[in-house]
Copies of this chain bind each other. A is one copy, B any other.
Amino acid sequence: MTTAQLVSEIKRKQSFLCIGLDVDLNKIPEHLLKEEDPIFAFNKAIIDATHHLCVAYKPNTAFYEAYGIKGWQALEKTITYLNEKHPEIFTIADAKRGDIGNTSTMYAKAFFEDLAFDSVTVAPYMGKDSVEPFLAFENKHTIMLALTSNQGAFDFQTKTVNGKELYKQVLETSKTWNNSENLMYVVGATKAEYLADIRQIIPDSFLLVPGVGAQGGNLQDVCKYGMNGSVGLLINSSRGIIYASKDTDFAQAAAIKAEELQQQMKAELGRHS
């Protein structure tokens, strides 16, 4: 999917919501555990109930790998279902990968070719040659960690390197990489005030913003500091939507929560247009 197509979908749906599909078998409704593939059954119900309210889905690979082969099968079924039923929806493999060049190429093949995701998240620690193999894929997007939403972000990301914080160094350096137009960035919503500085470095890039909802970020602030002329934001919510109810009404409850966010986003799009 091209960035232009993503922007077009955001305007059509009046939403820049990404729903995180982080399925924990201890948290899904009990009646689903009788299904042959409870993880896929859960995802399918959530997708069927919310696809008109969001523009992206983001399965975090950890939640699938934890269940071994069955988990990987559920991930494969989920992305196949999305690509067949809703090809207009942007898909993110939240994998946070990164390795030396030939190995990153294998990861890129895993997520862009074998699983056919539109994008994958990567970690920057190993530098240019660990990220460029992902960037080489046409019409695929690489979403690099810049400033994450957890407490540990302050351990290294905000430390000063050559006169500026490491995450700013990461943003600036990455702009010089081959095919850097295929980069998006993860920026935690718990630090919305940092977004003004970030927009000075990467005014045009899309930002994937986790941490609205369960992690406590504020949507208005994120839009105030982070939105650009092409919207430039995907705001993720996982637990706040998919675990809105643990009962048989879980999918409808998820849709209600997703619509609340979509309505707030519609208002923000109006305010900033």
Contacts and interface: CB of A to CB of B under 8 A. Distances in A.
Nearest to A121: B99
A169 interface: yes
Nearest to A73: B69
A234 B153 CA distance: 30
A157 B62 contact: no
Contacts of A103: 22, 60, 62-63
B68 A72 contact: yes
Contacts of A107: 62, 65-66
Contact of A127 (B66, B152, B170): B152
Contacts of A94: 99
> What is the oligomeric copy number?
2
A178 to B, nearest CB: 13
A157 B65 CA distance: 29
Interface string A148-174: 111111111101111000100110010
A106 B66 contact: yes
Interface string A83-111: 00000000000101111110110110111
A131 to B, nearest CB: 8
A124 interface: yes
A167 B67 CA distance: 33
Interface residues of A, number: 58
A128 interface: yes
Nearest to A24: B106
Given A73-B69, A107-B62, A145 B125 contact: yes
A123 interface: yes
Contacts of A204: none
A24 B106 CA distance: 9
A110 B66 contact: yes
A110 B70 CA distance: 12
B173 A156 contact: yes
A202 interface: no
Interface string A124-157: 1111111100000000000001001111111111
A230 to B, nearest CB: 27
A66 B99 contact: no
> Chain B CB within 10 Å — which of A100, A124, A149, A153 has the most?
A100
Given A62-B106, A126-B153, A166-B166, 14 more contacts: A22-B103, A60-B106, A62-B97, A62-B99, A68-B72, A69-B73, A96-B123, A100-B149, A123-B123, A126-B148, A126-B152, A127-B154, A127-B157, A161-B161
